[in-house]
Amino acid sequence: MNDKKTIKEVVRRRYGEIAAQAQEATSCCPSSSCCPPEEACSAAALYSSKDLAGLPSSVMGVTLGCGNPTAIAGLKPGEVVLDLGSGGGIDVFLAARKVGPTGKVIGLDMTQEMIDLAQKNAQKVGVQNVEFRLGEMEDMPFEDESINVIISNCVINLSPDKDRVFAEAYRVLKPGGRMVISDLVTEGDLPSAVKESVEAWAGCVAGALDKREYLEKIEAAGFVDLETRVGGFAYSGADAEEEIYQGVKHIDVEARKPA
């Protein structure tokens, strides 16, 4: 089995390449990204036209998620929101509109190239209540109980230490705070050969857990009142013909830290 350091470096390198190529991208789904088939993961498919109004192509062209957590997070003016794995910044910018000038949205990403891209995008959008920080989900550079809401869009599956991610999320959330994430899970275990492929990790397959195990990890971190919605998305193309890909699903999870 590949060690955690190797997995993280492969993921970091892959998403650094995606960010570096962002200005030239003609597709929303660069190879090995974490989104479903191109027609399903375009910004227009995941977000409403109202959401996308005013966003430049350098934001919409790096849509690597599988859902729209800001649409279900119930964000309120004045809240402090943290986006785990913020990428080019699309969910940060959408959240910033909802929390308004009295609120703040922080994007956390472990890839310097993505941070650079997101900061340039913030200048293009002209948004003031956002910040992007370089850091890892497993060791979040934030004080205890400093965040109202955590969102994440198809990123936690990339972590080789999800227990640590959820524990850190619990730590930085204020009492009564909530976590709203879109991610990938499986129905059943993946073959060991897939789990041991670092390239499959970068492609959001190897790191996807069985749905039950994924939710158990969230509960083990201390979260309560879990609400889930499981979608039916599967990979397309030649890969979809393989049984292992047919069991990969999109899931939305809402959970709360006790007050």
The structure's pTM equals: 0.87
Residues 6+ apart with CB under 8 A from 160: 4, 7, 8, 201, 207
Whole-number pLDDT of residue 238? 45
pLDDT by position in tens, the chain (length 259): 468 888 888 888 888 888 888 755 444 444 445 554 444 456 877 888 899 988 888 888 777 788 999 999 999 999 999 999 999 999 999 999 999 999 999 999 999 999 999 999 999 999 999 999 999 999 999 999 999 999 999 999 999 999 999 999 999 999 999 999 999 998 877 666 666 665 665 566 668 889 999 999 999 999 999 999 987 654 544 454 455 566 788 899 999 999 9
What would the two tokens of residue 29 be? 């789904």
Determine the angle formed by the axes of helices 112-125 and 90-99, rounding to 10 degrees.
Answer: 50
Nearest Cα to 107, choosing from 75, 130, 77?
130
Whole-number pLDDT of residue 237? 44
Whole-number pLDDT of residue 5? 84
Contact 170, 147 (CB under 8 A): no
Going along the chain from its start, the domains and CATH numbers come out as 4-66+74-256 (3.40.50.150)
Whole-number pLDDT of residue 24? 57
The one-letter amino acid code at 211 reads K
Whole-number pLDDT of residue 79? 98
The one-letter amino acid code at 46 reads L
Whole-number pLDDT of residue 200? 60
Whole-number pLDDT of residue 175? 98
